[in-house]
Amino acid sequence: MKILTLSLAFLFLIITTQAQNQSKVFDSKTLQSNILKMERKYSIYLPEGYESSELTYPVLYLLHPAGPSNTVPNQQSWYYYGGLKHYLDKAIESGEITPMIVVTPDANFETKRISYWNDPEGDFNFEDFFFEEFIPYIEKNYRCRTERDSRALAGASLGGAAVVQYIQHQPEKFSVACALSGAVRKFDYDYLRRKFPNVSEKKLMDWYKPYDVFAYYDNLPDDTESSIRLYISCGDDDHLSPNNVMLHTVLKKKGIEHEFRIQNGAHNWSYWRSVTPEFIKYISDSFRK
């Protein structure tokens, strides 16, 4: 009986150790935002060995596309639709990519509105929340490497547009960025007027200036050097492919180094799943430098 008890205890220890070593996704974590005056949700991927070691890890801040989703909360979409955990586990285990933490904040607001930007009406300043509260919170509560070379930004669709804008606003924060099917557009007053009918013309135009990615790059001197490794990808059947080609053209004209891909696909999760190995590897290679 004593031998059986010891055997069961040893088996329990093995199972417990294995469970601690496995990667985990916590898909409904929350933090209270003073800036947004509400609770915000996020998901976080912790690589194998995180719970059984004291190692620190580089971090990818991964932005979801527009929604809201009728199936899963936005912060879970990269795992539910994108199959991200399965890919990360396999690629880390094989040594193809370096172990990393991946975090996705939920940018959903009142279920019908998603915005990664500071609102022109001032009632949903998500960009301030992201930089002033969210990143510091993640770096305080998880074993993250906090130097710039260990921090990456990526996103799809609306999240891809935010990637390009965020690295313009705070280039010192990230060493590498990937924009997939980015919803970038030239200034379109009629579009903005429809989106924000109660905002004055002057206020609306002043608000949009920092988010006009094309005007930003157009105004840069030629041969501008960028310290951020930038990857841009879009499907050839995506309605946003002309906009992304336009972004590539202006970057090339200004001599800003970047990787640009037009590949088979449309504006959907099938395309983003297909390019996940490539853009995650691009990020991992930057972390390893």
State yes or no: pLDDT of 233 exceeds 70: yes
pLDDT tens digits, 241-288: 999 999 999 999 999 999 999 999 999 999 999 999 999 999 999 999
CB 140 within 8 A of CB 133: no
CATH domain 22-288 topology: Rossmann fold (3.40.50)
Summarised one tens digit per residue, pLDDT across range 165-204 is 999 999 999 999 999 999 998 877 787 888 888 888 888 8
Identify the three-state secondary structure at position 38: strand
Q: pLDDT for 90-139, tens place per residue?
A: 999 999 999 999 999 999 765 556 689 998 888 889 999 999 999 999 99
Find the distance separating the first CA and the last CA of the chain, reported in whole Å. Answer: 55
pLDDT of 156 over the 60 cut:
yes
Both tokens of 261, joined, read 């891909």
pTM, 2 dp: 0.90
Q: Nearest CA to 149 among 254, 263, 227?
A: 227
Q: Which pLDDT value is given to residue 196?
A: 83
Of residues 1 and 128, the one with the higher pLDDT is 128
- Confidence (pLDDT) at 20: 58
